[in-house]
């Protein structure tokens, strides 16, 4: 008997287990059984050869046309050249060794599977020494009997294979473990399976690897998708359930406090969405269990105001609030703008400070010793009601007097672990947590990646916000357009407006170092994963020229197209005080042009900036471009974003840019982004450390299934929080989360 936990070397022998581990990281029987076929070849239907691309490792089902021995030019002996066909196109198989043996097997009309890497010889595509497996009724003598049983059905599974191990060897390994398999307890409750017409686990596993017919594997796929969706949603439901059971100090609103005074000071009217989200959050804060809420809203939709409002409610109720920003630039900007918003209410104990006022403290990794010590003291004594900082806030010696609320800005740069490190700072009760993101996420992704959070969404921008017009500037086919772009920057500057020029790279002596500002937080930057922008590498493996760099562009523009304008560079490798100085100069209008990396991507708010020129725009991801352009058009003047690219018309890169130019809807663009990335990356990045568990499930096309699974999982967990009556599910969650993750769930 074999179980899913058995190591593969015991089940298959080391000789077969090793390539499976080397090529795909498969360690256990369960891993192998989740290595699903990529597709199924239908006996009699040959693989279309015209679609093969050079350099690809392929497995093809084709028919032999003829096999010829040819002398080897300068080598001794001769080689066997076999022409195979799919009925239309042809492909050559070349064998330099054991030509005689292969000639016996590869007879005209024989049909078989061949696996190898596509190369090209004298303009013809070929596979050199492919591995081969002939199908029974047409194969030469000897092979037939052994493998006939493997292909008893019409459908032949084709596995993701590699040069180390061919598809049919994987098929055989699967067969070896399938026969004696004990699939264990089913993670899907029987009642649920009955209602949704889902088959049992053992049967589904068999069918996906050895389908009897098309219907058989389709049903198996649906059942196995349910496993993925349901187990993940149950884990998240458990997390939510555990969180709701934790105690938190209620921070109900108080009349006559800072929050009310702040509202009265606001120079604008809140949008309906802001009011609704604000009320929800206010009610959450009044509860005796911790809030875990995601506030989602386009760039400029006014999330910060809502966060400040929530922080003041907590201060009124006697607590402190921390605001965690992903970069120093952003932390400093929040500090400036929140201090300004609060006016006299943020100046406790200072000249001009109002009665009941609080204080705002800033904590960053690079600030001077004196400033830091003063800030730490204010945080510790509770004099600072609002504490703003980067990940420096997470450090151990930062102690709060009574931390009641944590606001995390731009969540996509923080993992669950960071959230937890901050929570530890409120011993006794759990603080309330508000996560803000401007990255619009499709609903199903939110349900999955942020499945343990409640979601509020701001769908409208404040009135009077002007639209951002975006154009693609084709540098290769229309160089004149680039000159025109710089002209536009000069025109805006002449009107007293400001501009950003964004480059994918810092430049200088940096080859090999990541440039993106995310690096200063010591975190990965999944936000840039859609493009190469975070690559920051001088040498390009793909043969393209290196992306344009800030340190080259800034002097070039200063001495050329933008001569006479006040221009400065900004990037993540500058010392923090230098960054702060440049950012402040730009904010105060002492600079016309900022040449920057994506350091300006998140949150930077200068309403007077009206133009953005993105150089090598094709090197950025779709969502990232959308974020970037949100930096212009923050005031009342119309914003203009110019995407400069050398990508040729009709290339995928150019189409992506056209899509960004065509729509301002971040949700459409985030779907596009998701389609172009592997979903595992999206999950992997956001789930910090969790193994990507989605093999079959598509976050985009399985929306209904995910929603149903979420409801079912919530119901199961509500009735059986410890899953004592659902052992199969409990085990599956443990496998999904791994040992550290399970422990982490416990402590939440
Ligand atoms: P984001 O959601 O991108 O964080 P912010 O909170 O930074 O947006 O708001 C962007 C700008 O809009 C800020 O200058 C803010 O003061 C302003 N703002 C926020 N809400 C409103 C509103 N209801 N009406 C007008 N301006 C607003
Ligand atoms: Mg913001």
pLDDT in tens, 229-272: 999 899 889 988 888 888 899 999 998 899 999 998 898 999 99
Nearest-atom index, ligand 1, CA of 301: 2
Query: Mean pLDDT over residues 57-66, rounded?
Result: 88
Contact 124, 151 (CB under 8 A): no
Ligand 1 neighbour 130 (Cβ under 6 A): no
Nearest-atom index, ligand 1, CA of 630: 3
Q: Give CA angle at 152 (151, 153), nearest 5°.
A: 90
Work out the pLDDT band at 156, boundaries 50, 70, 90. Answer: confident
Q: Give CA angle at 13 (9, 17), nearest 5°.
A: 55
Nearest-atom index, ligand 1, CA of 302: 6
Ligand 1 neighbour 144 (Cβ under 6 A): no
CA–CA gap between residue 398 and residue 375 (Å, rounded): 10
Q: How far is CA 342 from the centre of its chain?
A: 35
Closest listed ligand to the CA of 336: 1
Report the share of the chain in percent with pLDDT over 70. Answer: 84
Ligand 1 neighbour 327 (Cβ under 6 A): no
Neighbours of 438 (CB within 10 A): 25
Burial of residue 487, with CB atoms counted within 10 A of its CB: 0-12 exposed, 13-18 middle, 19 or more buried: exposed
Nearest residue to 363 (alpha-carbon basis) of 389, 400, 384: 389
Report the share of the chain in percent with pLDDT over 90. Answer: 45
Reported pTM: 0.66
Name the token pair of 243: 């969180």
Closest listed ligand to the CA of 295: 1
Task: Report strand pairing: 384-389 vs 359-363.
Answer: parallel
Instruction: Write down the pLDDT at residue 200.
Output: 95
Q: How many residues are there in the chain?
A: 748
Backbone region of residue 605 per phi and psi (left: phi > 0; alpha: psi in -120 to 50; beta: other values) = beta
Residue 300 CA neighbour count, 13 Å, CB half: 27
Nearest-atom index, ligand 1, CA of 307: 6
682 pLDDT higher than 60: no
Which residue minimizes the CA distance to atom 24 of ligand 1? 462
Contact 612, 499 (CB under 8 A): yes
**Of 242 and 450, the one with more pLDDT:** 242
Closest listed ligand to the CA of 330: 2
Work out the pLDDT band at 121, boundaries 50, 70, 90. Answer: confident
Closest listed ligand to the CA of 296: 1
Average pLDDT, the chain: 83
Reduced to 3 states (helix: H, G, I; strand: E, B; else coil), residue 182 is strand
**Dihedral sign for Cα atoms in the order 97, 100, 104, 109:** positive
Work out the pLDDT band at 699, boundaries 50, 70, 90. Answer: confident
Task: Report strand pairing: 39-42 vs 155-158.
Answer: antiparallel
CA–CA gap between residue 79 and residue 386 (Å, rounded): 77
Query: Mean pLDDT over residues 668-679, rounded?
Result: 70
Contact 242, 748 (CB under 8 A): yes
Instruction: Write down the pLDDT at residue 476.
Output: 86
Listed as own residue / partner, the contacts of 358-361 with beta carbons closer than 8 Å and 24 or more positions apart are 358/258, 358/312, 358/315, 358/383, 358/384, 358/385, 358/386, 359/383, 359/384, 359/385, 359/386, 360/335, 360/384, 360/385, 360/386, 360/387, 360/388, 361/386, 361/387, 361/388
Q: Give CA angle at 332 (507, 600), nearest 5°.
A: 40
Pocket test for ligand 1, best of 329, 341, 408, 462 (most atoms within 8 A of CB): 462
Work out the pLDDT band at 216, boundaries 50, 70, 90. Answer: very high
Nearest-atom index, ligand 1, CA of 458: 2
Ligand 1 neighbour 273 (Cβ under 6 A): no
Ligand 1 neighbour 438 (Cβ under 6 A): yes
CA–CA gap between residue 599 and residue 614 (Å, rounded): 13
Query: Mean pLDDT over residues 608-612, rounded?
Result: 94
Distance from Cα 608 to the centre of ligand 1, integer Å:
14
Closest listed ligand to the CA of 410: 2
Return the minimum-mean-pLDDT range out of 271-275, 451-455, 577-581: 451-455
End-to-end CA, the chain? 38
Q: Which residues contact 569 (CB under 8 A, 6 or more apart)?
A: 550, 551, 554, 582, 594, 595, 596
Distance from Cα 305 to the centre of ligand 1, integer Å:
7
**Of 438 and 483, the one with more pLDDT:** 483
Distance from Cα 630 to the centre of ligand 1, integer Å:
12
Q: Which residues contact 714 (CB under 8 A, 6 or more apart)?
A: 233, 237
Instruction: Write down the pLDDT at residue 616.
Output: 96
Ligand 1 neighbour 297 (Cβ under 6 A): yes
Q: Give CA angle at 730 (726, 736), nearest 5°.
A: 145
Ligand 1 neighbour 121 (Cβ under 6 A): no
Beta strands in 601-675 (DSSP E): 609-614, 639-645
Ligand 1 neighbour 457 (Cβ under 6 A): no
**Of 531 and 514, the one with more pLDDT:** 514
Name the token pair of 411: 């969540």
């Amino acid at each position: 008997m074999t179980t899913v936990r058995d190591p593969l070397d015991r089940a298959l022998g080391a000789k077969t287990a090793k390539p499976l581990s080397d090529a795909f990281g498969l360690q256990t029987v369960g891993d192998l059984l989740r290595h699903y076929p990529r597709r199924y070849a239908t006996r009699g239907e040959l693989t279309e050869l015209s679609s093969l691309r050079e350099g690809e490792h392929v497995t093809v089902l084709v028919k032999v046309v003829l096999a010829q021995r040819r002398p080897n030019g300068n080598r001794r002996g001769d080689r066997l050249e076999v022409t195979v066909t799919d009925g239309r196109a042809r492909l050559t198989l070349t064998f330099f060794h054991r030509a005689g043996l292969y000639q016996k097997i590869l007879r005209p009309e024989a049909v078989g599977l061949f696996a190898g890497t596509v190369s090209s010889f004298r303009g013809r595509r070929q596979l050199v020494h492919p591995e081969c497996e002939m199908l029974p009724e047409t194969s030469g003598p000897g092979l037939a009997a052994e493998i006939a049983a493997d292909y008893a059905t019409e459908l032949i599974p084709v596995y993701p294979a590699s040069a180390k191990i061919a598809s049919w060897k994987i098929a055989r390994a699967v067969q070896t473990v399938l026969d004696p398999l004990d699939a264990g307890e089913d993670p899907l409750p029987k009642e649920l399976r009955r209602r949704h017409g889902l088959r049992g686990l053992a049967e589904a596993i068999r069918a996906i690897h050895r389908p009897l017919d098309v219907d058989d594997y389709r049903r198996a796929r649906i059942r196995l998708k349910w496993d993925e969706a349901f187990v993940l949603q149950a884990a998240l439901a458990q997390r939510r359930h555990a969180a709701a059971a934790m105690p938190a100090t209620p921070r109900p609103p108080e009349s006559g406090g800072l929050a009310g005074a702040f509202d009265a000071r606001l120079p604008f009217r809140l949008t309906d969405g802001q009011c609704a989200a604000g009320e929800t959050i206010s009610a959450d804060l009044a509860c005796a269990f911790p809030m875990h809420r995601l506030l989602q809203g386009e760039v400029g939709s006014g999330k910060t105001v809502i966060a400040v409002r929530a922080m003041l409610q907590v201060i009124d109720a006697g607590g402190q609030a921390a605001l965690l920003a992903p970069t120093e630039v952003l932390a400093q900007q929040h500090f400036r703008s929140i201090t300004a918003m609060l006016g006299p209410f943020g100046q406790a104990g200072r000249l001009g400070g109002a009665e009941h006022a609080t204080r705002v403290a800033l904590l960053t990794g690079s600030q001077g010793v004196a400033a830091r010590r003063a800030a730490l003291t204010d945080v510790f004594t509770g004099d600072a009601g609002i504490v703003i900082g980067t990940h420096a806030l997470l450090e151990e010696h930062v102690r709060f007097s009574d931390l009641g609320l944590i606001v995390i800005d731009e969540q996509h740069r923080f993992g669950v672990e960071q959230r937890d490190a901050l929570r530890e700072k409120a011993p006794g009760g759990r603080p309330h947590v508000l996560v803000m993101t401007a990255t619009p996420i499709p609903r199903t992704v939110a349900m999955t990646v942020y499945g343990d959070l409640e979601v509020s969404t701001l769908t409208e921008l404040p009135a009077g916000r002007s639209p951002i017009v975006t154009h693609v500037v084709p540098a290769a086919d229309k160089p004149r357009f680039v000159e025109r772009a710089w002209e536009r920057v000069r025109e805006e500057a002449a009107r007293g407006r400001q501009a950003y020029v964004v480059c994918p790279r810092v430049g200088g002596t940096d080859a090999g170092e990541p440039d993106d500002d995310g690096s200063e937080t010591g975190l990965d930057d999944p936000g840039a994963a859609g493009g190469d922008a975070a690559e920051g590498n001088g040498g390009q493996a793909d043969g393209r020229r290196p992306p344009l760099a800030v340190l080259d562009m800034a002097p070039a523009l200063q001495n050329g197209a933008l001569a006479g304008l006040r221009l400065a560079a900004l990037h993540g490798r500058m010392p923090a005080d230098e960054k702060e100085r440049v950012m402040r100069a730009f904010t105060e209008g002492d600079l016309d042009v900022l040449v920057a990396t994506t350091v300006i991507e998140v949150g930077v708010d200068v309403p007077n900036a009206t133009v953005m020129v993105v150089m090598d725009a094709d090197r950025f991801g779709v969502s990232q471009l959308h974020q970037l352009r949100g930096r212009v058009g923050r005031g009342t003047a119309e914003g203009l974003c110019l995407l400069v690219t050398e990508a040729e018309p009709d290339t995928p890169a150019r189409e992506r840019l056209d899509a960004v130019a065509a729509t301002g809807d971040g949700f459409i663009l985030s779907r596009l982004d998701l389609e172009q990335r592997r979903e595992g990356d999206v999950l992997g990045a956001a789930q910090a450390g969790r193994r990507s568990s989605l093999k079959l499930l598509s976050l985009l096309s399985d929306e209904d299934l995910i929603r149903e699974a979420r409801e079912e999982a919530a119901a199961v967990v509500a009735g059986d929080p410890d899953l004592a009556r659902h052992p199969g599910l409990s085990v599956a969650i443990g496998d999904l989360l791994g040992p550290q993750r399970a422990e982490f769930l416990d402590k939440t």
